[in-house]
Amino acid sequence: MKKNCLLLLLLFLGFAAQAADIKVTDYGAKGDGTTLNTVAIQKAIDACNAKGGGHVIFPAGRYVSGTVLLKNNVTLQLEKDAWIIGSTDVNDYTNPDPFKDGLGVDVGWALIAAVDVKNVGIVGAGGVDGQGSKLKERQILTDTRPESQRWGRRPFLLRVVRCDGVLVKGVSLNYSAAWTSHYFQSRNLQLEQLKIRSTGVAHNDGIDIDGCQEVRISNCDIVSGDDALCFKTTSSKMKCNNIIVSDMKLKSNQAGIKMGTESMAGFENISIRNCVIYDTKNGGIKLLSVDGAQIRNVIISDIKMMNIRTPILLRLGVRLSVFRKGQDVQQKTGLFEKVVLKNIEAVSADSTQLKAASGILITGIPEHKLSGVTLENIRIELPGGGTADEAGADVPEAIDKYPEVKTFGPVIPAYGIWARHVSNINIKNVSFRLRRSDGRPAVLLQDAQQLRMQGSVLPATKGAVSVFEIKTSRDVVIERSKVGAGPEVFIKADGISKGEINSKENQLPPGMKKR
């Protein structure tokens, strides 16, 4: 035992003796904002790796570069006022791991990439700026393809592919030409104290975790043009598993927290807590399985959302896309199991993706119900303004379509909760507040089974026929609800549902009929 410990100590000391911190300027890099430093930066990284690893130090300056690849045991250290600046020429970038995104576009080029390496990172008080808008402006002068296709040729700011042991801490990640940071099939990731400002071109996701395991993300401040914090599985071969996220500040032109736009493998054992989401233009929290993913043991808690559009969307669909052609096969339909959203406060923007705002959308498909979800201690403020005519709106099934709120619009026939093709759903202490009256029911259930709703608080409205509308549903329990005046009927149910509803201990205003 003593001999083994001594051997390990000698090996460690040998590695430490070889490890070297070097300055990128010693290898010819110039921080003048104009010199293309791709070759010099790569030489510094290679030299650091050859010496056993360490830090490649960037003194204050602006270092223009194309694609550089991190090597084993190398960390880029960006000192204060040190910036790696992306070249505005797309030809200065390479694609270390090509794939297609959820829209079917070829993507994967990057400014800084790490592929099949261990113990790498980017740390410090400096940052990386992709100059996304300038790169696009230059690109479209010669790339005549439609914008929906050519955007994929633009580089991500940071790509980490099949790596183990990654630290990204303290740095700023700004203005990517595509996704800002993408981590694929990697383990032992630590992302903390990041400041991301990435807007100006399409698809500026903030952080994309794609089939990664043992991940810790904390204390990041993200303002993104696309989804701020996004979990994906573009391959069926490795799920997102054992992930803890906390203390995030998220602003987005799309979603604050999204899981599953690309969803071939599972999302399991994930905790997201104590986050602020604000000024989002396409949703607060979205959990989606449309390519076969099993979403299991996911808890999202202690979330505050302000000025957001459509607070919650849960979707089980069957698009069943394959994103890495020749490397993967189509999956079977996925599922939700032990998914909990609790302790959430949300204030909706006045204008949303829908004609009139709705708070919570939950939908499976006729052959596959979305099940295994608990919503607990949720308070949502909505603008109201929906009409009684909109209560009769038909919502498209869109079983194989890209999963977005607008996919089910423009009208949702309930202002509070719309749940269709669901089972085993528990809703506890969910309350709504309206800034204006709304003529739609508070809750509409369609093809629901084993749904329990307890302790809800539903405001007074004018013009609505009922508080609840229930269609083709079985084993529904509604209890201890507190309801404001206005609607004539508490529960409106069709013939199939009437005998399947257990309503008890609800507080109704004088004159309101139970059914």
Indicate if 261 and 391 belong to the same structural domain: yes
Indicate if 160 and 178 belong to the same structural domain: yes
| In a domain? residue 7 | yes
- Domain of residue 55, CATH code: 2.160.20.10
Residue with the two structure tokens 């959990």: 287
Indicate if 166 and 265 belong to the same structural domain: no
Indicate if 408 and 364 belong to the same structural domain: yes
Domain end marker among 226, 259, 279:
226
Indicate if 164 and 242 belong to the same structural domain: no
Indicate if 277 and 319 belong to the same structural domain: yes
Spans of the chain below 70 pLDDT? 1-19
**Residue-range definition of the domain harbouring residue 371:** 233-445
Indicate if 185 and 49 belong to the same structural domain: yes
User: How confident is the model at residue 20, as a pLDDT?
Assistant: 84
| In a domain? residue 510 | no
| In a domain? residue 450 | no
| In a domain? residue 155 | yes
User: How confident is the model at residue 102, as a pLDDT?
Assistant: 85
Residue 55 CA: distances (Å) to CA of 20, 83, 163, 352, 375: 7, 16, 18, 47, 46
Q: Checking DSSP bridges between strand 335-348 and strand 213-218, what pairing results, if any?
A: unpaired
Answer yes or no: are the C-beta atoms of 117 and 71 closer than 8 Å: yes
Answer yes or no: are the C-beta atoms of 99 and 328 closer than 8 Å: no
| In a domain? residue 170 | yes
> Domains in the chain: how many in total?
2
Give me 340's structure tokens: 């909990």
Indicate if 182 and 137 belong to the same structural domain: yes
Domain end marker among 445, 471, 496:
445
Indicate if 14 and 66 belong to the same structural domain: yes
| In a domain? residue 100 | yes
How far apart are alpha carbons 391 and 215 in whole angstroms? Answer: 43
3-state secondary structure at position 77: strand
- Helix or strand (DSSP H, E) at 84: strand 82-86
Domain end marker among 445, 472, 496:
445
| In a domain? residue 54 | yes
User: How confident is the model at residue 19, as a pLDDT?
Assistant: 66
Question: How wide is the angle at C-alpha 82 spanned by C-alphas 81 and 86, nearest 5°?
Answer: 125
Indicate if 276 and 209 belong to the same structural domain: no
Q: Which residues pair with 275 in a beta bridge?
A: 303
Indicate if 239 and 298 belong to the same structural domain: yes
| In a domain? residue 511 | no
How far apart are alpha carbons 375 and 252 in whole angstroms? Answer: 24
Indicate if 190 and 75 belong to the same structural domain: yes
